[in-house]
Structure 1
Amino acid sequence: MAVSSWAASTSYSLGDIRRGATDQVTGLFFKCTTAGTSASSEPDWPTDIGSTVTDNNVVWAAISSVFEELSKLSPSAIIELFEVHLSNDLHGSNDIYRFHNGCNADVTSNITWDGNAYSRLPIIADGFEYSSAGTLPRPTLTIANLDNTITALLVVVNTSNHGNDLVGAEVRRIRTLKKYLDGESTADPNAQRPVEIWTIDRKSSENRDAVQFELASAIDQPGVKIPRRQLIGNICQWAYRSSECSYTGSNYFDVNDNPETSLINDRCGKRISSCKLRFGENNPLPFGSFPSAGRSS
């Protein structure tokens, strides 16, 4: 599915995705977050994912161009990269270790992306899926240790901080496509899915074959709390028809989502289904809860 170019004086709906017409911003497409009609001249597109630009009365947000490639019937192979960032306070250095598992696209050697070299190393990354059940994922990262590479790293870290075993190190999971790697004709360091950031919570096993680490979300740490708000799943915490809720419409429902005819009987059920009835099935929802939570950048 190809993404069309932006056009002047054109009506755009919420969720429409366009590419730049004359100014092709590398690695980025733009998603309509406020519907309206575009200006007579092309806007100055932002260059960072998540940044926005106002185009007459349309607002566009920058998203990754990986969207287009993944929408094809035969997309380029997904490349999964990992970075382990040490902290001088915990591990005695601020070194960064980069590696990939080489499973996709028959990549059998080290690769370079965004100017950084990633060493090929057998890795099993499991458990990154999110669910709405209320429990944050606790992924595991199992890294081959046949040449004692990981054991040697642990020895160095534990010399600085006895028994640390890389606990507290930041793990970044980066996913891009083979066509965007350095050296490819379509190389693009901006073409990537949102980076996932995790923290090593513990070393769960170590032997001469492999070392396994259990990861945790940045908010799934002992003593860590989100300021002012509890992490409650599937129950909206906003006061109905408040500024946070933002609903001012004349469609009325009771707490069980049954239609009502008057405002006096209008009650929100505090569920996503209640939100959809008022704002629309496919529109953005100001739902004040956390069906799933994590950290990305």
Structure 2
Amino acid sequence: MTQSAKVTGATQKLTLDAIVELIEIDIDGFSEPVYITPGPLNGAPVKFGGKIYHPVPLESRGWETNGQGQMPRPIVRVANTNNLFSGLVQNFDDLVGSEVRRVRTLARFLDGQPDADPNATFPVDVFRVERKLTQNKLLVELELTAAFDQEDRKLPGRQVIRNTCTQRYRAYSTATGTFNYDRATCPYFGSKYFNISGAPVSDPSLDRCGKRLSDCKLRFGNNATLPTRAFPGTGKY
């Protein structure tokens, strides 16, 4: 997408409004794109083109084309506020393949401003998530690649682990006497309980998943489509 005439004109003035960076992540299987921005505007979320971009501490680099023939591979680091991005990464295969759009505009063109214009943008950068570089309690770091630069891509995009499922199992709260599913990604809601060794137990507080394929079968049955995120069919060569 080319730079709008309004932005071109505004950047040629002696004084320049603040440039606002907006990030859109379109996740396959998620109801709508995730809209985020590095910081609030006057203490509130940023609105542009009718979309609300929620302020989340983030930083990015490497968007520029260097002219040497190599396509840029931007790095986006997003603070793991309220475990939001950990949940997205766990539920949607490390976000691999998700489209990421970086929209930049000037503060004067945001919704609610006198010169509001949703078409007044710098060239929009369109990339896809190539792989997850880092995930911890503080941040999630993603490497992007150009949407049309898919040569030599390897599938699956996430790490292949043969005997350990990476789903997050439910946690039992002794305070409430119920299971907490806030951070769980495993879809098991059953009332059969097993300890970490796979032995049946009657006390729900002892319910643990051993992350093995056998543990998945205990809960979902041998004939069910198992939600394991392990790769039991892989072998070492």
TM-score normalised by length of structure 1: 0.49
| Contact 1:125/1:139 (8 A) holds in 2 | yes
Structure 2 partner of 1:84: 25
1:209 aligns with 2:150: no
1:15-54 paired onto structure 2 within 5 Å: none
Q: Offset of 1:219 from its aligned partner?
A: 2.6
Cα distance, 1:119–1:63 mapped onto 2, change above 3 Å: closer
Confirm or deny: 8 A CA contact 1:180 1:187 kept in the other structure.
yes
8 Å CA contact retained: 1:83, 1:171: yes
Q: CA deviation at 1:64?
A: 2.8
SS in 1 for 2:95: coil
Q: Is the Cα contact below 8 Å between 2:4 and 2:120 reproduced in 1?
A: no
2:38 corresponds to which residue?
101
**Runs of 5+ unmatched residues, structure 1:** 1-48, 51-61, 158-163, 225-297
Q: What is the one-letter code of the residue matched to 1:80?
A: E
Amino acid at match of 2:52: A
**What's 1:219 paired with?**
148
Fraction of identical pairs, as percent: 35
For the pair 1:154 / 2:83, whether they are aligned, the reply is: no
Q: 2:181 aligned with 1:181, yes or no?
A: no
* 1:123 matched residue in structure 2: 58
Change (3 A) 1:107 1:126: farther
CA displacement at 1:95 relative to structure 2:
2.3
- Residue matched to 1:192: 121
- Cα-to-partner distance string for 1:217-276 (whole Å, 9 max, x where unaligned): 12321358xxxxxxxxxxxxxxxxxxxxxxxxxxxxxxxxxxxxxxxxxxxxxxxxxxxx
Equivalent pair of 1:83/1:173 in contact (CA under 8 Å): yes
Counterpart amino acid of residue 151 in structure 1: S
Alpha-carbon shift at residue 93 of structure 1 (Å): 3.1
8 Å contact kept, 2:37–2:53: yes
The partner residue of 1:75 within 12, 16, 25 is 16
Contact 1:167 1:203 survives alignment (8 Å) = yes
2:66 is aligned with 1:137: no
Q: Which runs of 4+ in 1 moved over 6 A?
A: none
Aligned to 1:278: none
Change (3 A) 1:130 1:94: same
**CA distance in 2: counterparts of 1:192 and 1:63, whole angstroms:** 6
Conserved 8 A contact 1:108-1:120: no
Write the letter of the residue equivalent to 1:147: N
2:51 and 2:106 map into 1 onto residues whose CA distance is: 15
Q: CA RMSD in A?
A: 2.0
Q: Which residue, 47, 59, 84 being the options, matches 1:112?
A: 47
Q: 2:96 — aligned with what?
A: 167
| TM-score, scaled relative to structure 2 | 0.60
Q: CA deviation at 1:155?
A: 2.5
Corresponding letter in the other structure for 1:210: L
After TM superposition, list the pairs within 5 Å mapping 1:50-65 onto structure 2.
Answer: 63-65=4-6
Q: Is the 8 A contact 1:79 1:178 kept in 2?
A: yes
* Alpha-carbon shift at residue 63 of structure 1 (Å): 4.1
Q: Distance in 1 between matches of 2:138 and 2:43?
A: 20
Gaps of 5+ in 2: 154-237
Greater Cα shift, 118-127 or 63-72: 63-72
Match of 2:175 in 1: none
Preserved CA contact (<8 Å) 2:19 2:107: yes
1:255-270 alignment runs, 5 A limit: none
Shift of 1:116: 0.6
